[in-house]
Structure 1
């Protein structure tokens, strides 16, 4: 199992995209960020090499994270890509719904000072689980 991951991150907040990219790249990962869910889906459906994990912001304009998650999980070519949902809060109903839809992890949007620790925790959990399989 390779340690370096190719990560896609979709968020409508440019600052969050920049923080995430900076942190994940400092941890040795390759990151492609997206502001537009339609563009990310188009690229996913038209490239051969898929990302190792996708981070989706829950609250997005036009196509929200849940809608994009549904498209990914219904696609035979994409459904096995691990998904991390990112949100500022997770009401119980939302958590249950995401788990039912096949989300692998839920990450609470951290404050800027805690961003690196939050990303490290999710990615190390993901890597530990992948190596155990």
Structure 2
């Protein structure tokens, strides 16, 4: 039986945040959406209860996904949280780079139908099997 997990999702496009939230909640999860990386980091620092998984959009204004990833991976209280990086494209060089930084999964944004299937695949494989995404 699947248990409800808490997921943080960061994307500067509010429509993408809302769409992700709709898909993840339909699978029984709780989603806290963010459109500002600084706000996500502040929430991570201040909230005692941490999320079970964090999705980070690569291309963000001010603090991009990689910068936020680096802050999370340097933190003793946050570095254990699995991270999924989300982007419209993943050249091989970028995939290798994110893997070296400790990303657990890379998810490509694509058309709405494919994106929904990708979100479902990531969440189902991670939470149903209770293993690291990858």
Q: Same fold (TM over 0.5)?
A: yes
Q: Secondary structure at the match of 1:106?
A: strand
CA distance in 1, matches of 2:122, 2:112: 16
Structure 1 residues 99-114: aligned runs within 5 Å: 99-114=99-114
Residues 1:34 and 2:41 are matched in the alignment: no
1:66 to 1:131, Cα distance in 2 relative to 1, 3 A: closer
Output one character per residue of 1:27-64: Cα deviation in whole Å (capped at 9) or x when no partner. 11000000000000001011110000000000000000
CA distance in 2, matches of 1:51, 1:93: 29
Structure 1 ranges of 4+ moved more than 4 A: none
* Contact 1:84-1:106 within 8 A present in 2 as well: yes
Residues 1:124 and 2:124 are matched in the alignment: yes
Structure 1: segments with no counterpart, 5+ residues: none
Q: Could you say which residue in structure 2 is the equivalent of 1:73?
A: 73
Structure 2: segments with no counterpart, 5+ residues: none
Q: Could you say which residue in structure 1 is the equivalent of 2:63?
A: 63
Number of residue pairs the alignment of both structures matches: 132
Alignment TM-score, normalising by the size of structure 2: 0.93
* Contact 1:23-1:115 within 8 A present in 2 as well: no
1:105 is displaced (CA, Å) by 0.3
1:14 is displaced (CA, Å) by 1.0
CA distance in 2, matches of 1:85, 1:130: 19
